Amino acid sequence: MRKYLAELLGTFALVFSGTGAIVIDTVTAGGVTHVGIAFTFGLIVMAMIYALGDASGAHFNPAVTIGFFLAKRFRGACVLPYIGSQLLGGILASAVLRLLFGNIARLGATLPAGPAMQSFGLEVILTAILMFVILSVATGSKEQGLMAGIAIGGTVGLEAMFAGPVCGASMNPVRSIAPALVSGHLEFLWVYIIAPLVGAALAVPCWLVTRSDPATPASLPVSHASQTTRRRAET
């Protein structure tokens, strides 16, 4: 239950802060700015990784959970409980935002600025890049370590910075599902559910062909200390 509570709290913080920045930007007539919104998403991801990475792995994203599972670094029995916790945390965050501000800016729901397939393609690529970075810096199935938060949070902020105005740069089904459900704007939601899952799945073989170590069992996360020891032995 500690892991599931950590996923709920982390996803709540992500959705509340990230989509909350969109809502407050609208309320203040641009007081946060697009750059500020992108930074908010990146910084909250980074902060929650450092706060909760050793508790649950700091997934906060069904696409990430499924990506770890496909990479054989996460047990299948935990996939659905993790996703359920993430959904609950996200929906609670959107509900609190609606209680505080009303149904402003669709509560930060993601909608394509152009053709739906354009946003679909962008979301696939953005999520694939994010998942590739996560798999490359994570320890076992956990997003933790000295540089993991900076690398992952930086990737989220970077992608939100340049792609946000076109597709919303969701990269996370829950980040899109929660405000869509609570605000009642479900149009194009399929883009932001399917595309991140496809992107996360595509990242796994890309990650596998770029690493030299054999696959790490999900039940035996490799610590940074053991990785360092192995590298010294190899040299």
pLDDT in tens, 100-127: 999 999 999 999 999 999 999 999 999 9
* Domains held by the chain: number: 1
Which CATH number characterizes residue 193's domain? 1.20.1080.10
Q: Which pLDDT does position 147 carry in this prediction?
A: 83
Residue 235 pLDDT > 50, yes or no?
A: no
Q: Which pLDDT does position 139 carry in this prediction?
A: 72
Report the alpha-carbon distance of residue 89 to residue 52 in Å, rounded: 14
Residue 222 pLDDT > 80, yes or no?
A: no
- Could you tell me the residue range of the domain that residue 139 belongs to? 2-212
- Alpha-carbon distance values, 143 to 49, 52, 192 (Å): 6, 9, 23
pLDDT digits (tens, 9 = 90+) for 83-93: 999 999 999 99
Predicted TM-score (pTM) of this structure: 0.87
**151-157: average pLDDT:** 96
Asked if residue 224 is part of any domain, the answer here is: no
Contact indicator for 59, 82 with CB cutoff of 8 Å: yes
Q: Which pLDDT does position 138 carry in this prediction?
A: 85
Asked if residue 221 is part of any domain, the answer here is: no
Q: How many other C-beta atoms are found inside a 10 Å radius of the C-beta of residue 213?
A: 10
Asked if residue 232 is part of any domain, the answer here is: no
